[in-house]
Chain A
Amino acid sequence: MRTAQVIMETGAHAAALAVKCARVDVIPGYPITPQTSIMEALSAMVEKGELDARFIPVEGEHSALAAAVAASAAGARVFTATSSNGLLYMHEVLHMASGGRLPVVMCNVNRGIFAPWTLWADHQDSFAQRDTGWIQFHCSSNQEVFNTVLQAFRVAEQINIPVMVNFDGFVISHCFMPLNVPAQEDIDRFLPLHEPEWRLDPAHPSSFSNVTNAAEYASFRQMLSQDIMASIPLVKEAAQSYKDITGMWDGDTIDTYRMEDAEVVVLAVNSMAAELRLSVDILREQGIRAGLLRPRLILPFPAQDIIDALPQNAQVMVLDRNYNFGHHGGILASELKSVLFGRRHDITVKNRVMGIGGVDLTRRFMADEIRAMLDE
């Protein structure tokens, strides 16, 4: 492993650098806070000739993803990024990408959604797209954003399913942290050139997304559902191979902290999970045997890995940064409960929603919340 350089970068720039290192061909883009700096950085790289790609400054996110989908169907490696209402605006095209089995990679910089207006982080935007057939990662640091974008391309292109890489607005996108950038030849080894099995090619006329009969349609959907599940070993393999080549590791489908003898397991994703390590330390100092279980992958939901990681009789405190409207609490808690049902009768699950619209989540606040949940 050769680390070419260690630099100070924001999460947004870490994402842009990863896109450059992935030798992406086409980048349609449209600004929205807090994602904008990714697109600005990429358009500058293209303009200066540092990145041999086409930047398409489209007129909206619906078009951004449409251009990405079409460029991918033409055989290019494609990236775009968005946030919040931009992601919601893409909704029908998200389905086009997954149904069309196109390995587009997109960063979503998590931000709360209209109305009322907010600029700051929560996860309602990406959780609202849970059923669009995309593989979804959540990252907890700038370095993990960089690493995950590269892993996302590898997985997407192996199984022809688009991948969304989520990370919190401002907390990650705009904060500087040290960033290891591996040598380009190492990255090239990890992520070879994109050679799709199929593309729009006049030498082989074929239709894409044409009308199907019911049985064909059903079989396409069944394949997509199965392949999404089949991506789990690929995610693990990508993380392992990335570690072998670069020495860096963020976890694979999940990441754990102080779980060995944990009685209280905190489950959360994204930037709050980084802060929660410190909350776990505080709780441990207070005599509570706490641990952290952070899913990196939330779609497909890594059921088996979570089940295997939970100690006997653990109390799981799920901290959701989203609402599961129509139910009490958040979506992660519902996902977890559905996984445990009938499989782990020994586990209790408690849930709180917090950090909505960027409400600050400090280690002390979260430690206090978890202690209060213990008494519920």
Chain B
Amino acid sequence: MTTSIKKLPDTEQVLSGNGACGGCPATMALRMVGKALGTNAIMLLTPACSVASMGMTPKLGYNWPCINICFATAGASASGITHAIEIMKEKGRLQGELPTVFSWVGDGGTYDIGFQALSAAAERNENIIHFCYNNEAYSNTGVQRSGATPRGSFTTTTPTGKVQPKKNMPMLMLEHNIPYVATATVAYPGDLYDKVVKAKNISGMKYIEILAPCYLGWQFDMADTVQMSRMAVRSGAWLLWEAENGKISFNSPSSHIINGKRDADPVNEYVMKQGRFNRLLNGADAARRIAEIQGDVDREIAFMRERAKIMI
């Protein structure tokens, strides 16, 4: 059973008074992550909203030691820290339980510029958790396209809508044969919490990607972050799943969509609530464009359903 939101620990690792936008999905997700990880952790960040949000020197809005590193280097830097603390413990220079080493990185730092170092860290099966909070664009620099931006979406570098579909990053991570991969989103905090607790107790490389609907980039009302996250899941535009040692299982409610017990909502409503799509959907080609977006979602659902049948 998924942990109920009422049962989550009181620990707050995200402190009040940080610099995120109201309704920021990245910060909401980080709060849940903090409840699962507790205080004994070291946090790495790459240039992104979550760095801009953490408060300026010497103040710090996150209750961990935090290191902001070069954009492309999350995989490599986290590896460096893990090896450092492990060898220092072996040599008797550190005592007690070793902290969890985790990276908190956007889709830009994960899908794009950080892909090489992350792939290498996964191939080496480094003992780290890489979180990708995926707001489907480079929000911090003013909303440019990333490899996670879905087809048809407006960004400042795709002013007439992105032509290519997004890539399936969690699957790419799974294909590195790492012990744990999971997807989550802010509308399902208990699901996220449970996945982080699980990851914390697995040794080796863990990858958790969190869909983070960002009102600024997606252009919806700031108060609707959670609702947008829920609509993404109900429409099948975001699937909740996890894979332990390569075996994929789906979490509710995505599991019902996958096994056919419940139809996914049409993407129409989800898409039309977001300015990044609907500003481009008032022309003569609107129906074709929506069909394209629906086609991408349907394809991913069908692909994941089939891929999950491979149980070796």
Contact = CB atoms under 8 A, between A and B. Distances in A.
Interface in B58-108: 58, 60, 62-70, 72-73, 75-81, 83-88, 90-91, 93-94, 99
Contact of B67 (A26, A63, A92, A208): A208
A59 B116 contact: yes
Interface in A301-322: none
B42 interface: yes
Main secondary structure of the interface of B (DSSP, over half): mixed
Given A75-B93, A202-B65, A211 B56 contact: yes
Contacts of B167: none
B51 A210 contact: yes
Interface stretch (A49-57, A121-129, A267-275, A281-289): A49-57
Interface in A32-64: 52-54, 56-60, 62-64
A354 interface: no
Contacts of B55: 210
A98 B44 CA distance: 18
A67 B83 CA distance: 9
B91 A205 contact: no
Contact of A63 (B76, B87, B99): B76
A54 B69 contact: no
B135 to A, nearest CB: 19
Contact of A70 (B44, B58, B91): B44
A166 B282 CA distance: 63
B88 A62 contact: no
B130 to A, nearest CB: 14
Interface string B169-210: 000000000000000000000000000000000000000000
Given A70-B44, A200-B42, A210-B56, A59 B67 contact: no
Contacts of A57: 124
Interface residues of A, number: 44
A210 B120 contact: no
A345 interface: no
A302 B55 CA distance: 40
Contacts, number: 164
B8 interface: no
A67 B78 CA distance: 7
Contacts of A216: 57
Contacts of B73: 62-63, 66-67, 70, 93
A207 B77 CA distance: 15
Contact of B80 (A26, A204, A205, A206): A26
A210 B60 contact: yes
A75 B94 CA distance: 10
B117 A70 contact: no
A26 B126 CA distance: 14
B52 interface: yes
Contacts of B72: 62, 66
Nearest to B41: A202
B268 interface: no
Contact of B81 (A70, A92, A205): A70
A28 B120 CA distance: 13
A19 to B, nearest CB: 14
A213 B56 contact: yes
A252 interface: no
A188 to B, nearest CB: 14
A57 B85 CA distance: 17
A349 B72 CA distance: 44
A174 B55 CA distance: 50
Interface in B9-50: 39-42, 44
Contacts of B51: 210-211
A200 B65 contact: yes
Interface in A67-100: 67-76, 78, 92-93, 96
A53 B80 CA distance: 12
B258 interface: no
B228 interface: no
B239 interface: no
A157 to B, nearest CB: 14
Shortest beta-carbon contacts, A-B, top 3: A63-B76, A67-B80, A66-B73
Given A28-B76, A58-B76, 16 more contacts: A26-B87, A52-B87, A54-B83, A57-B124, A58-B117, A59-B76, A59-B119, A66-B69, A68-B80, A75-B88, A76-B88, A202-B64, A206-B60, A207-B67, A209-B67, A211-B51
5 contacts: A63-B75, A67-B76, A67-B83, A70-B79, A202-B41
